[in-house]
């Protein structure tokens, strides 16, 4: 079969417009599946990890977990979330999950198991979040960053699921991680 380079999808070229502390912005020329070419603005992100921290046993039919209530400027207020943060250069996602759990909550996990990896908003960013389940938690001191304003909210899984249903949990990674945990890892 002869390959037609005009029909291959993907990046044709990329021009960096901005490089920041957390993200970069590129304007990419992209060949689409129909052979046409167009420009897309793409937010580049190094990726992140997030973790569902179980305080109790995963065998408990309604385990207690740790949510955080965190101020988010972009959301114009506070959001309920699971601990999460950006991958450092060369850092493994599981190590990032452990680090973020400790930094934000003070808890250290005896075990961190992968749940799945998700794209956050693939229409304009390449950001992926690796989701984990943490068990065997041991309390300690947190090491929050200067821009992290949060409180710990121990919550039963059943209550967290009700919070999703009522729209009180609006953070997508948190809602999806909790629903996945309830549907496929516990019970």
Q: How many CB atoms lie within 10 A of CB 169?
A: 22
- Please identify which of the residues 104, 148, 165, 168 carries the catalytic annotation: 148
CB burial class (10 A; 0-12, 13-18, 19+) of residue 19? exposed
Q: Is the separation of the CB atoms in 177 and 131 below 8 Å?
A: yes
Give the strand pairing for 48-53 and 37-44: unpaired
- DSSP, res 125: B
CA–CA separation, 85 vs 75, rounded Å?
A: 17
Question: Which DSSP string do the residues of 25-48 spell out, in sequence order?
Answer: EEEEEEE-TTS-EEEEEEEE---E
CA–CA separation, 157 vs 179, rounded Å?
A: 9
In the residue annotation, 148 being an active-site residue is answered as: yes
Residues that are catalytic = 148
């Amino acid at each position: 079969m002869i390959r037609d380079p005009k029909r291959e999808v993907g990046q044709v070229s990329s021009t960096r417009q901005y490089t920041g502390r957390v993200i970069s912005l590129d304007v990419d020329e992209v060949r689409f599946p129909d052979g046409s070419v167009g420009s897309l603005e793409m937010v580049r992100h190094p990726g992140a990890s997030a973790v569902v921290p179980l305080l109790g046993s995963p065998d408990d039919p309604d385990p207690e977990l740790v949510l955080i209530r965190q101020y988010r400027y972009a959301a114009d207020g506070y959001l309920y979330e699971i601990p999460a943060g950006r991958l450092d250069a060369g850092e493994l996602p599981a190590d990032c999950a452990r680090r973020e759990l400790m930094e934000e909550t003070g808890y250290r996990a005896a075990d961190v198991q992968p749940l799945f990896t998700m794209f956050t908003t693939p229409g304009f960013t390449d950001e992926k979040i690796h989701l984990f389940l943490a068990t065997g938690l041991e309390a300690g001191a947190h090491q929050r960053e200067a821009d992290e304003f949060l409180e710990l909210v121990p919550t039963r899984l059943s209550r967290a699921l009700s919070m999703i249903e009522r729209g009180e949990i609006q953070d997508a990674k948190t809602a999806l991680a909790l629903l996945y945990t309830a549907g496929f890892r516990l019970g």
